[in-house]
Structure 1
Amino acid sequence: MIDALDLAAKLIACNSVTPADGGAQDVLQTALESIGFRVHRLHSSEGPDGPIANLFAIRGSGGPHFAFAGHTDVVPPGAGWASDPFAPEVRGGLLHGRGAVDMKGAIAAFVAAASQVETKGTLSLIITGDEEGPATFGTVALMDWMESESIRPDLILVGEPTSAHKLGDTIKIGRRGSVNMTVTVPGRQGHVAYPHLADNPVPTLARIVSALSAWTLDSGTEWFQPSNLEITDIATSNEATNVIPGVARARLNIRFNDLHTGADLVRDVKAAVAEIAPRATVEARISGEAFRTDPGALSDLVTGAIRDVLGVEPELSTSGGTSDARFLSRIAPTIEFGLPNATMHKLDEAVAVADLEALTETYAEVIRRALG
């Protein structure tokens, strides 16, 4: 059987800051093949967002088909760690290293769990190296390949770190969508002493920002908090103190619930901007749509495993940021459950060894309930 702590440490030792792989999927392939999985490696080198390493592993055949999804890429560690972020170290019962929580620990726990359980049907892992980045050639590319191979899971569990205060207290059954936009207001550069010879775009942009900031998009729903629009940056092309800038820009992000679509929000922002500044432009990138997997067979299965193994009654939630569940939910009911998230993306990211072991036991029970 595979030891979750050992495998997590081996994965953490791979410097896989997105979009680099750093050998992480080689480590994962070796572990998976040792317990009977057939591993397919899928690489993309297209465009500026690559190259991307993806991995799909499958064991068994026929139905039902239960899939685990995750990512081996991590965010940059930043400066100021107490130890090398890619030299895993256990201190005080905690395994330290970038990715310990988000989410190499969960991947290791699921592989270790799979090594313990005899299964019927099909068990698979959908692993990308492009979740923390643009997600252009990651899970979506894997889904396209799966479709070409006529592979379609019945249920999907994403191992994101969902637990808030203790392991098992939160399951994510949905996520809000996200869209980023850049509003550009053109003007005419000139000397500040001769404003009649220039056209200052900043006051116009300020009116746009004020109007957008005053929006109330909705009041939330049964499962989702209210959507929110946040201005994230305001800038001009100006580097001098005595020049009226020729252009002004603002960036914004909208996190939206399932009362909206990304396209509708882009349309509404463009209309609002055009009303104030007809010559202004709006560029948009929709990172993902809101999704929800209604409580039912999948959430009951995972909740039952958590209750029996951990003695915890999890909350069903849609809070937090986005994940690749936004893509996977298109093909099958998808929820997220993983480690406590207190240190994800932080300096000295760490997972309690006891939590890693308990998550392995819980994932093993999930597999038994799904395919036993």
Structure 2
Amino acid sequence: MTAAARALALIDDDRIVADTCELIAGWGENPGGTEAETVRRLVAICERIGARVQLQEIAAGRPNLLASIGPEDGPAVLFLGHSDVVPAGEGWTADPFVPRIADGMIIGRGATDMKGGLAAVLEAMAAVAAVAPGIRLELLCTVDEEDRALGVQTWLAEHGLRRYLACIVAEPTDLEIVIGCRGAANLHVEVLGGSAHAGRPEDGASSIYGAAALVDVVRELHAEAGAGEGDPLLGNPTWNVGTIAGGSGTSMVPRVTELTIDRRTMPGEDPELILAELLAQSREAIASSGAANAQRIEVRGVVDMVMPGFRTTEDDPVVSAAADALRSLDQDVRITGWTAACEGGFVAQASGTPTVILGPGDITGQAHQPDEQVRITDLGVAARAYALIALAIAGGAED
């Protein structure tokens, strides 16, 4: 029996289900909570499979986790995930953090994004270690992925990342092989005007009127970005005004208005240059808007968060290994790109590691929704695919 066959025989679907349910029950809503309980449960699973654990506390109750198995050094395969989930929100038919099983699905917040993926990775790591102890495997599980990516950025600042043989991000892709994704930049823009009594608005300079001109600029930039041919895998850059808040009262000309803007970036784009372009065009638009005292309106901004994109070539060994693994498991092979963003871009940017996203669950149809769920059979396929990819990429297994 080959090493691959022995590894597959060791993977236990019931154990993956149990671990997924255990992690769902660990909560980890972000914002609004901490990941500590989920990480505590992750540590217990890591200890069960014989993995070494390193924790990094980035804030109270918010520890990053690095689990490693195999030799202390040498070439390694990195799995990447996160321990936080989005807030449960409304619309659930039962408690979102009491996992339940129905019709072949595990239901609970984080089932798809991404407690199921984490459980599948750990099951695969244990199986590979049992048949090929000379292979080093690592799981980096970060906090705060769903908000500001503070976990991965803090890890990189303190520890850095070496170049790995491959990085496999266990985010939900419906078992498609994602070889590239757009990045994301959060822009915080402040429009400053001048207050005045609403009975004489011409004495003031309305920051809301300035913000309205800025919103028009964002809409035009979004239309221009979408008019191009676009990347065949990643599509086009996009703009979205996410929040706007301004003014102090109905009878006052508003002095300050703040906006948050989401800009989805293509690999290689510089968010600082994107912000500078937005501010320059907004100042021109405000100056020609006809708003009272437009010359008194100032616009300034900062890049509040950056999640870089990445692109791996289709002929890279990790892509071939993933495709071969899925074929051997009687799965359709779909190689595609993501319009979403993930932390794989940080790994690719920091270390040049070839990166793919591959995981159980549907990012658009199941994640971040009431009654979030993941198909149990897909968890098993994912774990087996991870094991086969690691064995193919790292070698070192004797048949």
TM value normalised by structure 2: 0.83
Please say if 1:187 is aligned against 2:193. yes
1:89 aligns with 100
How far the C-alpha of 1:115 sits from its partner, in A, is 2.3
2:208 aligns with 202
Q: Which residue, out of 38, 63, 66, partners 1:56?
A: 66
How far the C-alpha of 1:69 sits from its partner, in A, is 1.0
Structure having the higher helix fraction is 2
Looking at structure 2, the residues matched to 114 and 290 of structure 1 have their Cα atoms a distance apart, in angstroms, of: 26
How many residue pairs get matched? 358
Looking at structure 1, the residues matched to 382 and 237 of structure 2 have their Cα atoms a distance apart, in angstroms, of: 32
Please say if 1:227 is aligned against 2:237. yes
2:135 aligns with 121
Corresponding letter in the other structure for 1:287: V
Cα 1:115/1:182, change in 2 over 3 Å: closer
Cα 1:202/1:144, change in 2 over 3 Å: closer
Q: Percent identity?
A: 26
Q: Which residue, out of 241, 259, 283, partners 1:250?
A: 259
How far the C-alpha of 1:176 sits from its partner, in A, is 1.2
Corresponding letter in the other structure for 2:327: R
Q: Which residue, out of 319, 322, 327, partners 1:307?
A: 327
Give SS of 1:132's match.
coil
Looking at structure 1, the residues matched to 329 and 141 of structure 2 have their Cα atoms a distance apart, in angstroms, of: 26
How far the C-alpha of 1:151 sits from its partner, in A, is 5.1
1:142 aligns with 155
Q: Deviations over 1:305-335 (max 9, x none)?
A: 1121133121221x23211112111211111
Give SS of 2:332's match.
coil
Contact 1:236–1:247 (Cα < 8 Å) also in 2: yes
Corresponding letter in the other structure for 1:223: L
Corresponding letter in the other structure for 1:348: D
Range 70-79 or range 247-256, more displaced: 247-256
TM value normalised by structure 1: 0.88
How far the C-alpha of 1:70 sits from its partner, in A, is 0.6
Contact 1:56–1:142 (Cα < 8 Å) also in 2: no
Looking at structure 1, the residues matched to 298 and 126 of structure 2 have their Cα atoms a distance apart, in angstroms, of: 61
Range 194-203 or range 95-104, more displaced: 194-203
Looking at structure 2, the residues matched to 203 and 101 of structure 1 have their Cα atoms a distance apart, in angstroms, of: 42
Cα 1:144/1:181, change in 2 over 3 Å: closer
How far the C-alpha of 1:141 sits from its partner, in A, is 2.8
Contact 2:149–2:307 (Cα < 8 Å) also in 1: no
How far the C-alpha of 1:265 sits from its partner, in A, is 0.4
Corresponding letter in the other structure for 1:37: A
Please say if 1:324 is aligned against 2:343. yes
Contact 2:68–2:137 (Cα < 8 Å) also in 1: yes
Corresponding letter in the other structure for 1:101: T
- Give the RMSD, CA atoms, in angstroms: 2.2
Give SS of 1:178's match.
strand
2:123 aligns with 112
Corresponding letter in the other structure for 2:255: G
1:36 aligns with 50
Range 101-110 or range 305-314, more displaced: 305-314
How far the C-alpha of 1:275 sits from its partner, in A, is 2.8
Structure 1: gaps (5+ residues): none
